[in-house]
Chain A
């Protein structure tokens, strides 16, 4: 497993995990279900990535930007008041919210942008839902002087005007997508169509651990800096690994970043890994985004995974108060963890997430992203059942500034 020099040790390495296999499969999940036009491009990205991963110059450059531009390493913060409030395990927050652009997304966009540059691609494209990944891609495109086009559903463009402005300010072109449900899923379709059309000149910076191989692997590797840091920080602070790790799961990139460095440990050494999906208005209402909790196996955006669809295989729109979790599928590696019992997956409703949002603000002075508020809300159920000498790490994947307007609308009367 890799040790990151960010923590003052050795040379940066990108970890070598046992999965996926050579065909991009985590058990049955993953693969490359895309139109044939893209297959050579995916093979090219895979080869370039595997080569870059072993190149000290690439790793040094990535480490340089992660440290000096993104702000790594991020602290592991002891949330003492929250721990006392729940009266169970000691709660630590992995502060990805402190990163540049306000979320963990930058770990991945820096990695992919550097890879794009290495491959000689001068144009990058991306999909975005709430706009966090889009802003992150626009940011690295500005940093490296690349042309940048971001696809965003019309509905999201309307809801997230501030992030649209941010992307434009950073020099990106934002293209609204009017097809389908006009949200993240449709923006992803359109980004893939753009890539099919401009495949020879363009690099697609995918934002989560979904999509065709090698994306779930590559995004996981870039995000695994989160878990690698937690490993080292835990050993330094407690002399051992935590007892449980909790993270929100939409597509699943922040959760996989935290989980993967622990997931392949022998069972006795592995902390409890708990992914929290968005139950939206409740699993029974059909208005949710819980692909593992209430979905079936299927194919979307190039990958075989747990997915929300109807009896005919038509993809059903996801729903969550958190736009970042509003995706009808979940990455193939999570799908595999769920089947293999490596991680457990729960879900919390919009209402519970809003409670978590308020709780963290009041007890710790941190306004979390609504995505991360799902992890807090589920921790409220798990932590009180644990012993006081036990340790729980929650991934605070992003900060809540972007959600304040929405929260004000939903909570305004209550404060």
Chain B
């Protein structure tokens, strides 16, 4: 299934697409795969995080998850194998979220080719503003990976115009000025940000950061997709089942229904 089809399917069903995020190797290699199996029935697309030593854009929950995964031996090779295993379970679009340095360490061409070969649909690069390295972005696209970049409430219209020029697949709108983590409410400006992005690109827009339950999901559902990360990781930390949380969030994705 292509990214476009995944968003279109959700739209037909009158809701925003659900994009769960899980850190590869958390709470363990097997625990991650079990979590994937639990989220897949709810997921339209899936985001897999490559654990990194210095995750600048992440709040404490995903930081802890990355630390645990690395401590338990998760590696780039290990993530590659996990992506292959997840690909065997589903044909839904799989996005790898990775900071830039692991890409540079493996060599961009090798890194991109291997993840493409493993079945990744695209990349989310949170610390690469695309105009910093247009050649790298082009390389990923030539290898057949979609390139997703983040935009934030602080992004100016000029900045949005620049970033969407490099985007394929979808555009990731950060709901808050802040790092990843659960919030009780999203700021009202998220609606404005989604509108400003839509004015510059025909690509689907997904809102992430802070979605933790039905109310925040409903706020985020002004977009075409909603990313849920920290709330899932937190549930895994507490060894709670993911399905009730996902079911609750899914209810919030139908924007026209009263919340």
Contact in complex: A311, B105 (CB < 8 Å): yes
Contact in complex: A185, B54 (CB < 8 Å): yes
Q: What 1/0 flags go to B76-116 for Cβ under 8 Å of A? A: 10000000000000000000000111111110000000000
Docked pose: A39 CA to B158 CA in angstroms: 12
Of the listed stretches A54-62, A69-77, A234-242, A293-301, name the one at the interface; the rest are far from the partner chain.
A293-301
Of the listed stretches B38-46, B147-155, B199-207, B215-223, name the one at the interface; the rest are far from the partner chain.
B147-155
A120 within 8 A of B: no
A36/B155 contact (C-beta < 8 A), A179-B67, A311-B105, A313-B103 known: yes
A34 within 8 A of B: yes
Contact in complex: B150, A36 (CB < 8 Å): yes
Contact in complex: B70, A314 (CB < 8 Å): yes
Q: Which of A33, A37, A38 contacts B132 (CB 8 A)?
A: A33
Contact in complex: A36, B56 (CB < 8 Å): no
Closest chain-B Cβ to A315's Cβ sits at a distance in Å of 5
Q: Which of B54, B70, B149, B163 contacts A189 (CB 8 A)?
A: B54
A164 within 8 A of B: no
Contact in complex: A196, B179 (CB < 8 Å): yes
Q: What 1/0 flags go to A180-200 for Cβ under 8 Å of B? A: 100001100100110011111
Closest chain-B Cβ to A258's Cβ sits at a distance in Å of 29
The B139-153 residues at the A interface (CB cut-off 8 A) are: 149-153
Number of interface residues of A (CB under 8 A): 39
B27 within 8 A of A: no
Contact in complex: A315, B54 (CB < 8 Å): yes
Q: Which residues of A contact B126 (CB under 8 A)?
A: 35
CB closest chain-A residue, reference B173: A36
Docked pose: A40 CA to B160 CA in angstroms: 11
Contact in complex: A193, B59 (CB < 8 Å): yes
Contact in complex: A192, B154 (CB < 8 Å): no
Closest chain-B Cβ to A262's Cβ sits at a distance in Å of 30
Contact in complex: B101, A300 (CB < 8 Å): yes
Tell me whether chain B's interface is mostly helix, strand or loop, or mixed: loop
Docked pose: A314 CA to B151 CA in angstroms: 25
Docked pose: A357 CA to B225 CA in angstroms: 60
CB closest chain-A residue, reference B57: A35
Contact in complex: A314, B178 (CB < 8 Å): no
Contact in complex: B105, A36 (CB < 8 Å): no
Contact in complex: A34, B54 (CB < 8 Å): no
Contact in complex: B105, A179 (CB < 8 Å): no
Q: Which residues of A contact B179 (CB under 8 A)?
A: 193, 196-197
A37/B152 contact (C-beta < 8 A), A193-B179, A200-B177, A313-B106 known: yes
Q: Which residues of B contact A33 (CB under 8 A)?
A: 100, 127-129, 132
Q: Which residues of B contact A199 (CB under 8 A)?
A: 154, 177
Docked pose: A199 CA to B159 CA in angstroms: 16
CB closest chain-B residue, reference A311: B105
Contact in complex: A315, B174 (CB < 8 Å): no
B63 within 8 A of A: yes
Q: Which residues of A contact B150 (CB under 8 A)?
A: 35-37
Known: A36-B163, A196-B56, A298-B105. 15 other contacts (CB 8 A): A34-B56, A36-B151, A36-B152, A37-B154, A37-B177, A39-B159, A40-B154, A185-B54, A196-B178, A199-B177, A298-B101, A307-B101, A314-B52, A314-B102, A315-B54
Residues of A within 8 A of B (CB): 23, 31-41, 179-180, 185-186, 189, 192-193, 196-200, 296-302, 307, 309-315
> What are 9 of the A-B contact pairs (CB < 8 Å)?
A33-B100, A39-B154, A40-B155, A199-B177, A297-B104, A299-B100, A299-B101, A301-B56, A313-B101
